[in-house]
Every structure is written in C-alpha cells, then in structure tokens.
C-alpha cells in the first residue's frame, strides 16, 4: 500500500504542474476484503466479482483521476495505467503477490 500511495503522490505532483488551474481530483483507495467476505459470498451463491474464489485476505485497490478536458484525460490515462503496473510489478515478488 505504501508503493501505491507513493505512485499516487507522484501523479498528483505531476498533475499540479500539468493542470494549470489546479482543477482535478484523484483517488487512491484501499478496501480490505477478508476471507470471511468470500465465505459469505460463497454461502450466498457467489457474486459478480467472484469473491468466493479468494482463498486469502485481499485488498482491493482503486486508482482514478477526474479532469475537465479530453486532452487532460488523454494525458492522465496512460499515467494511471503505468501507476497500476508499477504497483503490480512491486507486489509480484511479495508472498501472495
């Protein structure tokens, strides 16, 4: 989660420079999904997210940005993708990656 927060902070700093009026919103959200949630999901017949397949505690990570113009959106979208990939790359060698 520290890596995700770092990646988010770097994006915010870049957007402060790029979006001259400062009008943007970003989110870096973590939602714990303990195994008990998966157990309840399985007991209820499953759900759209497939939580019943989770055998370990998990954390759902949401990373997003809202900007005013199509040009700004085109600028930030690949940066969000790169940020998610940076977190994946960081987490891959960690147990349960």
Question: Model-level pTM greater than 0.85?
Answer: no
Q: Is the pLDDT of residue 10 over 80?
A: yes
Any domain includes 85: yes
**Domain interval for residue 50:** 2-90
7 inside domain: yes
- How many structural domains are present in the chain? 1
User: CA 51, CA 26: separation in Å to the nearest integer?
Assistant: 26
In a domain, 21, yes or no: yes
Position 95 in a domain: no
**Is 36 within the bounds of a domain?**
yes
38 within some domain: yes
| Residue 35 is assigned to a structural domain of this protein | yes
Strands (E), the chain: 25-33, 58-66
For residue 61, with 0-12 CB atoms within 10 Å meaning exposed, 13-18 middle and 19 or more buried, which class applies? middle
44-67 confidence digits (pLDDT tens): 887 777 777 778 888 889 999 999
**What is the SS3 assignment for 41?**
helix
Which of 40, 16, 88, 29 minimizes the C-alpha distance to 64? 29
In-domain check, residue 82: yes
């Amino acid at each position: 989660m520290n890596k995700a927060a770092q990646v988010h902070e770097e994006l915010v700093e870049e957007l402060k420079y790029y979006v001259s009026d400062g009008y943007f919103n970003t989110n870096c959200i973590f939602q714990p999904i303990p195994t008990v949630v998966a157990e309840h999901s399985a007991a209820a017949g499953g759900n759209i997210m497939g939580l019943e397949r989770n055998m370990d505690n998990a954390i759902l990570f949401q990373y997003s940005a809202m900007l005013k113009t199509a040009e700004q959106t085109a600028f930030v979208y690949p940066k969000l993708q790169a940020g998610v990939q940076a977190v994946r790359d960081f987490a891959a060698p960690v147990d349960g990656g």
